[in-house]
Structures are given as structure tokens and as C-alpha cells.
Amino acid sequence: MDFTLTPTLDAHDTRILAELQADARLSMAELGRRVHLSQPAVTERVKKLEAAGVITGYRATVNLTRLGYGIRGIIRVGRADYDLVVKLVQETPECVNAYNVTGEDSWILEIAVIDVPHLDAVLAKFCILTETATSIILNPAREHQPMLPPQRADVKPPVRKALSA
Amino acid sequence: MDFTLTPTLDAHDTRILAELQADARLSMAELGRRVHLSQPAVTERVKKLEAAGVITGYRATVNLTRLGYGIRGIIRVGRADYDLVVKLVQETPECVNAYNVTGEDSWILEIAVIDVPHLDAVLAKFCILTETATSIILNPAREHQPMLPPQRADVKPPVRKALSA
DNA sequence: GATGAAAGGACTAAACC
DNA sequence: GGTTTAGTCCTTTCATC
């Protein structure tokens, strides 16, 4: 593994990433058993993956509903002052994710709130900025898909006519 | 802590959740030191939080850019056959999150792709279903905000005139 | 919940391949 | 790069208060 922007990850690294994304609390010894490497070997590889910035941390995942957040939603925020949105997001603990994006909307926020009055209160903070559109999450069909290095072979280019010269 | 839909979490549980969301690889001994509980006490609380479904797992987080995904995006998918979308998502490893939502769009997908041709290939799978709108993530200003039990006191109801009877 | 003792396991470092 | 060994430390489990 080198330290270029996208380090070269071999099959061992890929298996390590898969295992740690599935269970971040594995001991290095158990991880070694699973990927068929000795414990010192996996420990060194994990440290290199951390140092290379591929692994950025280890987080417990929580069930927001069980925590007391009855509603999860996506808020799309139109063109607005960048710093102002950043400031508002920082003041909003209900905001789980906040992405500055291209397109008609400038921001896409993911929030978790207790109930409708709480949703109302959070929305009020953002809708004074600009136009917003809110969607309530009915079913998070997929969350936190474990990601492995992309395989070029996976990509099937769509068949499509192009303007020829 | 009881086992109703939203278990009663005291200050110790809240601190435990904060610590494990910040670093899921903490040992129970170290966690106990940080939250000022003995190691057996903290171990039992963590097990109860897991059993109650509040803690759903422990995951390593990865830097998608370093992994080789040069582009992250949000795809909004209009009204489409539910099962068909689920099937497409399952066949799409580039899809990190997939939410079925209310509103004009039926689905909001978060994807990671290598480059523009790869984006083209993934979009082609969904745009044949119905209308889609794609936004490229320029800056993930906030990701995976650690979430603690909501505090009613946090909620400031917006001042707003209502129709009186 | 805390404490203390015992057993098991995990991490580190070194030598070697 | 990897493995193996040896030593130390830590963690966990159990029993007791």
C-alpha cells in the first residue's frame, strides 16, 4: 500500500475493510483469524489504513427511533449564503448529515426530530433563508452500505447513441 | 433502563452513547474510566443498550475518496414501482443509502462512483424507471453527527399566527 | 453498582524467514 | 512483506460486599 491519493489496496486490505465495517469492535487477533493473517500483520495493515486516511474512525451506530426521534427527514435548501447555512447546521443537533451540492438546491440536510412540532421548529430555522422542500423518510431501505474499493469491471457503460463527427 | 419503545436513558447511558459514537473501539475498562463507572457496570449498560436495540452495531468509517470513489451524489427518484427500486438498489453496490420518502420524489439515494462515466452507468439504471434528479456532493459539511437522546428543552416552537376559532 | 482476584486473551517487540 | 515466539499488559468474568 502506497500513500498516493488512492492507496493500492490488495485482497487482504479489502477483507479487513469489509470485516471492520461489519464489526468495528473485532480484536486484531480475531480479525487476523478471519482474514487469514497473523495478528501482528493485521495490526500493521489496519494502522496503515488509518494512517492513509482510508479508515477514518470507528463509530457505534444507534437506532434513532429507539433514541426517541420519531421522524427522520430530508430537507432540500435552495440557494443561500454558504456561511449562514454552515452556522445554522452547527446550531442544529437534529441535523445528522449536511451536504453542499450542485443543482437547484444548494444543500441537502438529513435530520431526526421527535415529532411534528419538533419538525416544525427545525424547519423554521431553514425556511427563512430560502425555499426549502422537506421529505419524510418512510423506510430507510439501505443504510451505511459497507463500501469496498470500486471494481472497474463492475461498470457497465450504457448503450447510447452519441453525435458522431 | 426499561424496554419500552424508547427506553429511559439516564446521564450515564447518554455519556456511553456519546463515547461509543466517537470511538467504537474503546475497551469497556477505558469507557468505564471516561464515564466514571466501574468496568462491570459499564459493560452491563452497553449490553442492555445493545439488547434494547439502541446500539445497533459498530462500524469502521471509510473515506470514500481515498477508497477510489471520486464522485458522491444524491439521486432523487420520482414515483416508481417500489419492489423494482428495491431490487435495483440491491444490485447497486455504489448505493450507500436509499430512503423511501414522502413527497414528489419517492426515493432519495446516496451514491459513490469512481468518475463521470461510472456516474453515467449508475444513473442509467434508475433514469429508465421514472424522472430523476441528480446532485453532486461538493462538500459533506457534516457527516454522521453523533446523536444523543433528544431534549424537549431544545425545541423552540416557532412564533406564528394561527387561525383562531 | 463497586471491589478484588483469577484466568484468559490481546498487544508489543524481537528475531527470523 | 509475513510468521513465530516470548513477555507484558489488559480485559473480562466471577464472586463478594
Q: Measure CA to C1' and name the residue nearest D13.
A: B40
> pTM to 2 decimals?
0.94
Task: Decide if B74 contacts B109 (C-beta within 8 A).
Answer: yes
Question: Into which CATH architecture does domain B64-134 fall?
Answer: 2-Layer Sandwich (3.30)
pLDDT, residue B156, reads 74
Distance B38 CA to D17 C1' (A): 15
Angle in degrees, 0-180, between the axes of helices B39-51 and B28-35, rounded to the nearest 10: 100
CA distance B124 to chain A (A): 6
CA A17 to mean position of chain CA atoms: 15
B4 inside 8 A of chain A by CB: no
Which residues 43-62 in chain B have a CB closer than 7 A to strand D? 43
Q: Measure CA to C1' and name the residue nearest D14.
A: B40
Cell 414522502 appears where?
B102
CA distance A156 to A160: 12
Contact B145 A66 (CB under 8 A): no
User: Whose CA is closest to B99, among A128, A121, A109?
Assistant: A109
Scan residues 30-49 of B and list those with Cβ closer than 8 Å to A.
Answer: none
At B2-55, the pLDDT tens digits run 445 678 899 999 999 999 999 999 999 999 999 999 999 999 999 999 999 999
CA distance A101 to chain B (A): 4
Q: Is residue A59 within a helix (H) or strand (E), and if so which, with residue range?
A: strand A55-62
B147 inside 8 A of chain A by CB: yes
Q: In terms of DSSP H, where are the helices of chain A?
A: 11-22, 28-35, 39-51, 64-67, 82-90, 116-127
CA distance A119 to A127: 12
pLDDT band at B165 (very low <50, low <70, confident <90, very high): low
Domain ranges of chain B: 9-50, 64-134
Note the strand D nucleotides within 7 A of protein beta carbons: 1-5, 10-15
pLDDT, residue B154, reads 73
Cell of A123: 424547519
**CA dihedral of B58, B64, A113, A108, whole degrees rounded to 10:** 180
pLDDT tens per residue across all 165 residues of chain A? 544 567 889 999 999 999 999 999 999 999 999 999 999 999 999 999 999 999 999 999 999 999 999 999 999 999 999 999 999 999 999 999 999 999 999 999 999 999 999 999 999 999 999 999 999 999 999 999 999 999 877 777 788 887 876
Domain boundaries A9-50, corresponding CATH code: 1.10.10.10
Q: Which residues of B touch A63 (CB under 8 A)?
A: 53-56
Q: Measure CA to C1' and name the residue nearest C3.
A: B38
pLDDT, residue A156, reads 75
Cell of A116: 411534528
Query: Is a pLDDT exceeding 50 seen at residue B113?
Result: yes
